[in-house]
Structure 1
Amino acid sequence: MEAAPEPGPVLRLRHCGAAIFCRRPPPLCPACGRPLRGAGLAAAPVRLPCPFRHGHRQRRALLLRPAAGSFLGGYDGGADLHVGITNGDGVVYNYDEEGIHRDETGWEQCISVPLVQPDMFELLQQWDKLLEEFSVGEAWLPHRYEEHDYNCYTYALAFINSILTAQGKQQMSKSEFTEKFVIPQTKNASKYITLHQELTTKDFYIVPLPDQENQGGN
């Protein structure tokens, strides 16, 4: 089956007290009908950064993707997310009812959170070995898996905590893990998904701006 074509970029411009989102900049403002050419800097289209990354190109990172489907392929914000951790080659280690997987495909549209900074030389060298040794432990055998209490999040958090412990740092609780790694990323992604869904059925999506953001606009 051929992959669905990637959607075009989401552009934003400001005019007549509104934020206007589109795929291609129009010659006339869709809110007031006036020309946008020469309307000032605010009316210049700005490309919004896409929050999703090709997971297998992310090294030593935490990845999040929908358990089924894709973020831009009908994700409603309420479906379960699956998490994994990449090694230095972009292979995604993840845990489910079948045990540990080492995926080389299937994570092409993900939220990615880097776990290792460029100056962590020792950890950069040891990451693959630590991840593999951790993943072959009996804790991650298939029969241990429980959908709500012992799952892919448990695996990812346990590995991250093992790294923190080795560095002499304090471990994270599940709530801290969710607050730090999951919520900020999914909030940003949710806004982008809303724009993407609106622009699949219409040419423009118009949002009134608060008064303080209107200053300097037309």
Structure 2
Amino acid sequence: MEKTVIKYRHCGRNIYSFSCSDAPYSHRRDDSERQCPICLQSLTFGLLDAPVALPCPFRNGHTVSCAFLIGSIHGPSHLGEWNDTEIHVGLSNSGGLVYNYTLSGVRRDDRGWEQCVCIQLCPPWRHALRESWDRELEQFSASPKWVSERFDEEREFGSCCYGFALTFINHMRSLDGKVSLSRDEFTGSHVLPRMKTVSLYINIYHAILQHGFCIASHDM
């Protein structure tokens, strides 16, 4: 999913397509040579209707510090449906090392999370909290609770990698004088809003791949 998605308005509709720069060089056209897929007329724009690039919802998790990361071994395009795809979550430290709970215990990955959904939880300006995040995350990961032998037990209770991450997040919230969040509270306030945007982006991207353009019922 490396093509740039652009949005423009024509014929009273918001239309999505890929940027001309993503086409093969011999097939590139400027906007004056492109046709509207609805009226088939040459595209002309007013200032407010001109094409704008949509921000890609996927980032390199190793460059986003102190964040909750959502990824898939099958790639970012499989993150479109929260309930119907196998996902994996982790936590990055201030240096981009990703801690995640797996069958082999807690992994510390310096690669593999280059295309994921990133929810930064510790703002860059809170230097003391970022330092304690790194220290606490390393100590937390060494707890016997997260050994490989207990992975199936945690999975039986619906925890696994999500439980590992949320337990640590609540630990840091308590150190910061904040109340803990239930799984439903954290998912509802932090995860679902982001995943709805991701799902819409993926649907638009796939529609453009199939038809060359997309007219979405929900605007991004």
TM-score class normalised by the smaller sequence: 0.7 to 0.9
1:117 to 114, 123, 129: 123
Taking the aligned partners of 1:104 and 1:134, their CA distance within structure 2 comes to 18
Q: Residue type matched to 1:170 in 2?
A: V
Q: Residue type matched to 1:88 in 2?
A: S
- 2:74 is the alignment partner of 1:69: yes
Taking the aligned partners of 2:118 and 2:66, their CA distance within structure 1 comes to 10
2:43 to 23, 36, 42: 36
2:198 to 171, 176, 189: 189
- Alpha-carbon deviations, 1:154-183, whole Å to 9, x = none? 000100111111122111111111112210
Q: Is the 8 A contact 1:56 1:104 kept in 2?
A: yes
Q: Is the 8 A contact 2:8 2:50 kept in 1?
A: yes
Partner of 2:109: 103
- The DSSP-based 3-state class of the residue aligned with 1:44 is coil
Q: Is the 8 A contact 2:133 2:172 kept in 1?
A: no
Unaligned runs of 5+ in 1: 1-5, 211-218
Partner of 2:175: 166
Taking the aligned partners of 2:168 and 2:144, their CA distance within structure 1 comes to 14
Q: Is the 8 A contact 1:94 1:152 kept in 2?
A: yes
- 2:93 is the alignment partner of 1:87: yes
Partner of 2:58: 52
Partner of 2:27: none
Shift of the alpha carbon at 1:76? 5.1
Q: Cα RMSD over matched residues? A: 1.9
Q: Is the 8 A contact 1:95 1:101 kept in 2?
A: yes
Q: Is the 8 A contact 1:59 1:87 kept in 2?
A: yes
Shift of the alpha carbon at 1:205? 1.4
Shift of the alpha carbon at 1:42? 4.0
- The DSSP-based 3-state class of the residue aligned with 1:8 is coil
Partner of 2:2: 7
Q: TM-score, normalised by structure 2?
A: 0.85
Taking the aligned partners of 1:36 and 1:96, their CA distance within structure 2 comes to 51
- Alpha-carbon deviations, 1:32-67, whole Å to 9, x = none? 022222x3134311101111001111111110012x
- 2:209 is the alignment partner of 1:203: no
Runs of 4 or more consecutive aligned structure 1 residues displaced over 6 Å after TM superposition? none
Partner of 1:20: 15
- Percent of pairs with identical residues: 37
- The DSSP-based 3-state class of the residue aligned with 2:214 is strand
Q: Is the 8 A contact 1:12 1:45 kept in 2?
A: yes
Q: Is the 8 A contact 1:85 1:93 kept in 2?
A: yes
Further displaced range: 119-128 or 163-172: 119-128
Q: Is the 8 A contact 1:15 1:42 kept in 2?
A: no
Structure-2 change in CA distance of 1:117 and 1:208 (3 Å): closer
Partner of 1:180: 189
Partner of 1:213: none
| Higher helix proportion (structure 1 or 2) | 2
- The DSSP-based 3-state class of the residue aligned with 1:41 is coil
